[in-house]
Amino acid sequence: MTTSGWSPGRRSLLALGLAAVVAAVVLVVVVVRAQVSAPQPRPAGRIDPPGGTATPHQNDSRGQKTRPERGPLGPSRPVSLTIPAIGVHTPVNPIGLAPDGSLAVPQPGPHLNEAAWFENSPTPGQPGPSIIEGHVDSTAGPSVFFRLGDIAPGDAVVVHRADRRTLTFRVDAVRDFRKTEFPTTLVYGSRHLSQPSLRLITCSDFDPAIRHHVGNEVVFAHLLRVSGRAARG
């Protein structure tokens, strides 16, 4: 029996406690490094340039003729999203509003690292801006839109809809906004509401002091062409 000092049991508990603290610090450092290293967008391009919808007599990525559209499409929810320039291919899930009335975000679970379409916005191809969001990262590391900051005007964004149509959007502009100064009308509205457009949104500007993102990156794109034939019935 000892009369002073730590017993072997107490030493073991102390060692375990220190190991847990070290592991937690390492995890925080890894997460912070992942968040800080996300590509930061550089303001580029012109938001909402004038133009039509689909471009006739062009080929899609498989060499098939695209089908020119006379105007915006009817509703059909997006089922997947591809951004070749940054290696993104993801399912798209519908999402609504959070309890406070803000745009909800994908929650922990099987869809955390997938894109989400705001179901109160137009479906891609309908008049106005369709909103698709995704996380930039999580405690597990990079997420679906981690490289969204590398997108540049002219890049393609391909959306596959439930009606089997494939829509190719062309990126017009990339902007980074402080969350406290987010331009809701500009992002969720448009100067060309009759034209189909697309917005991709993720977080940006990670602040290690508060361990939160203080900005939002927004990609603005317009519909370039439509391919495929709508599914019947």
- The reported pLDDT for the residue numbered 10 is 44
| Contact criterion met (CB below 8 Å) for 202 and 40 | no
Domains of the chain: 38-227 (2.40.260.10)
- The reported pLDDT for the residue numbered 213 is 86
* AA letter at 125: G
Mean pLDDT of all residues in 38-57: 62
Helical ranges in the chain per DSSP H: 8-36, 184-188
| Contact criterion met (CB below 8 Å) for 191 and 51 | no
**Nearest Cα to Cα of residue 90 among 101, 81, 99:** 81
Q: What percent of the chain has pLDDT over 90?
A: 52
Mean pLDDT of all residues in 181-204: 89
**Kindly report the CA angle at 58 between 53 and 125, in degrees rounded to 5?**
30
Token output for 69: 């559209």
Nearest-angstrom CA–CA distance, 13 and 20: 10
Cα-flanking dihedrals φ and ψ of residue 34, to 5°?
A: -65, -40
Nearest-angstrom CA–CA distance, 132 and 81: 9
| Contact criterion met (CB below 8 Å) for 147 and 60 | no
Lowest mean pLDDT among 19-23, 115-119, 165-169, 181-185: 19-23
Nearest-angstrom CA–CA distance, 126 and 114: 22
Higher pLDDT, 116 or 206: 116
Distances (CA, A) of 6 to 16, 17, 18, 104: 14, 14, 15, 51
Burial of 107 (0-12, 13-18, 19+ CB in 10 A): exposed
Which residues 6+ apart lie within 8 Å of 213 measured at CB? Answer: 35, 136, 179, 203, 204, 205, 206, 207
| 89 band by pLDDT with thresholds 50, 70 and 90 | very high
Higher pLDDT, 36 or 213: 213
- The neighbouring-strand residues paired with 88 are 83
- The reported pLDDT for the residue numbered 151 is 95
- The neighbouring-strand residues paired with 217 are 176, 202
Mean pLDDT of all residues in 23-40: 48
To the nearest whole number, what is the mean pLDDT of the chain?
Answer: 79
3-state SS, residue 114: coil
3-state SS, residue 202: strand
Which residues 6+ apart lie within 8 Å of 28 measured at CB? Answer: 211
Q: What percent of the chain has pLDDT over 70?
A: 71
Mean pLDDT of all residues in 146-161: 96
Higher pLDDT, 90 or 207: 90
Token output for 148: 């969204």
Please identify which residue in the block is written with the tokens 């990670």: 206
Token output for 150: 């590398």
Q: Is the pLDDT of residue 64 over 80?
A: no
- The reported pLDDT for the residue numbered 5 is 38
| 2 band by pLDDT with thresholds 50, 70 and 90 | very low
- The reported pLDDT for the residue numbered 28 is 37
